[in-house]
A and B are shown apart, each in its own frame.
Chain A
């Protein structure tokens, strides 16, 4: 991903204040880079610093554990549209959102997990609530959380094979029958029209 530590549009929030905030938390957690686009603060940290970075962010007042999840960056995708550019560095991106309950402050702490060694330290020592989120990420992406002793399947049946949210996992329903809605998303001759019904009091 790009390191856009420069200007970017932030909707509805004071960009400079948000960027200053992102920079200050980035320094506190030892992030290698950060972005603050669209009102969403993202701090990139090394995998070895994952637990300590989350701990450091929590001690800045971001004590509310919002969620933990992953993104599968892959060049070949079985479902949907792939990446925009030529190629992407294939990896899993771990994402942990922490926020404050006193104000709107919130950050996403992000690290990369290689596909060859998909494992990362558990956050359950800091946030008890991370246990379910890690179980979910483990079954959906096949990521191992070292130190989490209960990684049995949360949503999926025990005998389920594969990791459904990986980009190389096909969506069976689409394999059997192409989505009829595909027609609707084909480009029309003109792509600049607004929907006729849309503008109410034009």
Chain B
């Protein structure tokens, strides 16, 4: 019996009393609008005090039905649509799709276009990971890293905008290559259609600058005691769970599964560049942070090599004005910042695909959440959610 039950007044000195309150089976609703849910995600948790006994994610608030919408659009129109799936990595969403269509139609993009795709994909990865570096410490109570990450992300976005004309939704890929470059001047003069003036120098400067940012983060966040206490040993993902749920990207590589589409598939000419795939074996929130920070460094290495070895030549191969894709079925995947993204395209020989199945990384990465939260503490929820680095547009499609 507590003081309150007996009708007495609860005083602050009776705080110990409330600890003995019986609180099993309390349902706590989080979201859909909640800062830690990265969009509109609803979580229904059964909690016993601070301990979560079960948790169910409720998704679909962002469902836009892309798989239906692409069935009434031609291939060029679909490119516009799909870079909105994961809006933190708009450019990277386009690449596996155009590569799949190119393979079905037997068109090969010129080497220069392929290099530009690599440069922009890696810039997208850097910008997406910088967004993670800004939001993750913020959710754990550190607001300063956000300032550094968001400021330096602008340098990357400016370069992407300079080439594509768009900061988030470039719509820059075309079947057979890339679009004539925005800011390149009149499209009737052949030399002015290329990358904007000073792009290579500006990119090299950005790479140097962001290497400094990585060091700043090492100094500011990586060894921070509070950060370590909140992330080390929290939210373990096992290698078995990685396979069971199809977890990919940095989340898988933090659990010792060193798979990266860039090393195993040839959707872009990554074999021309010297880079490593960072992996960690701990599988906790800190490991996922460490993998992403290391990936920024590797992406900067790739960007540096690609801009300095950039081959000449056209930006786009000859493509029929009306693109009819021969009948066939193909799956092409790419390594997006969030993980493996792929398109399974069923073509019946027309201008419109018969069916496109979109495999997104965040969907599979989020599905494991109930297992991670089983028995975890409520305050760890925020750390675990943040470390999974999903985007609801990528979950709901």
1/0 per position for A127-163, CB-CB distance to B under 8 A? 1110110000000100000000000011111000000
Cβ-closest chain B residue relative to A166: B68
**Does A103 touch B at the CB level, under 8 Å?**
yes
Interface residues of A in 93-129 (CB under 8 A from B): 95, 97, 101-104, 106, 108, 127-129
Bound CA–CA A12/B100 (angstroms) = 12
Chain A interface residue count, CB cutoff 8 Å, equals 65
Question: Which has the most chain A C-beta neighbours within 10 Å: B318, B327, B371?
Answer: B318
Which secondary structure dominates where chain A touches chain B?
Answer: loop
Cβ of B303 to closest chain A Cβ, rounded Å: 22
In the bound complex, CA of A165 to CA of B257 (Å): 34
Q: How far is the CA of A171 from the CA of B72 in the complex (A)?
A: 9
How near does chain A come to B252, taking the closest CB pair, in angstroms? 7
Q: Tell me whether B321 is interfacial, beta carbon within 8 Å.
A: yes
Q: Which residues of A contact B7 (CB under 8 A)?
A: none
> Does B222 count as interface, using CB distance less than 8 angstroms?
no
Using Cβ atoms and an 8 Å threshold, which residues of chain B touch A185? 74, 322, 351-352
Is there a chain B Cβ closer than 8 Å to A191's Cβ?
Answer: yes
| B141-170 at interface with A (beta carbon < 8 Å) | none
Among the listed stretches B224-232, B359-367, B379-387, which one makes contact with chain A, having 4 or more residues with CB under 8 Å of it?
B359-367
Which of the segments B17-25, B211-219, B238-246, B294-302 contacts the partner chain? Answer: B238-246
Complex Cα spacing A11 to B258, Å: 25
Are A179 and B72 closer than 8 Å at their CB atoms? yes
A69 to B77, CA, bound (A): 23
Contact between B246 and A154, CB atoms less than 8 A apart: no
Inter-chain CA distance A185–B73, complex, in Å, is 9
Whether B180 sits at the interface, judged by CB under 8 Å, is yes
A129 touches B344 (CB 8 A): no
A202 to B193, CA, bound (A): 12
B 51-63 to A, binary, CB cutoff 8 A, 1 in contact else 0: 0000000011001
Q: Mark B157-197, 1 if CB is under 8 A from A, else 0.
A: 00000000000000000101100100000010011011000
Of A11, A38, A202, the contact of B314 (CB 8 Å cutoff): A202
Q: Please indicate the chain A residues that have their CB under 8 angstroms from the CB of B329 in the complex.
A: 37-38, 40, 42
Q: Which residue of A lies closest to B71 (CB)?
A: A80
Q: Say if the beta carbon of A21 comes within 8 Å of chain B.
A: no
Q: Is A6 an interface residue (CB 8 A)?
A: no
Given A38-B329, A84-B348, A194-B319, A200–B314 Cβ distance below 8 Å? yes
Q: Interface stretch among B42-50, B83-91, B122-130, B259-267? A: B259-267
B contact set with A: CB distance below 8 Å: 59-60, 63, 65, 67-69, 71-74, 77, 103-104, 106, 174, 176-177, 180, 187, 190-191, 193-194, 241-246, 252, 257-259, 264-266, 312-316, 318-322, 327-332, 340, 342, 344, 346, 348-355, 357, 359, 363-364, 367-368, 371, 396
Q: 9 A–B contact pairs at CB < 8 A?
A: A67-B342, A101-B258, A128-B371, A155-B63, A171-B69, A188-B322, A195-B319, A200-B315, A200-B316
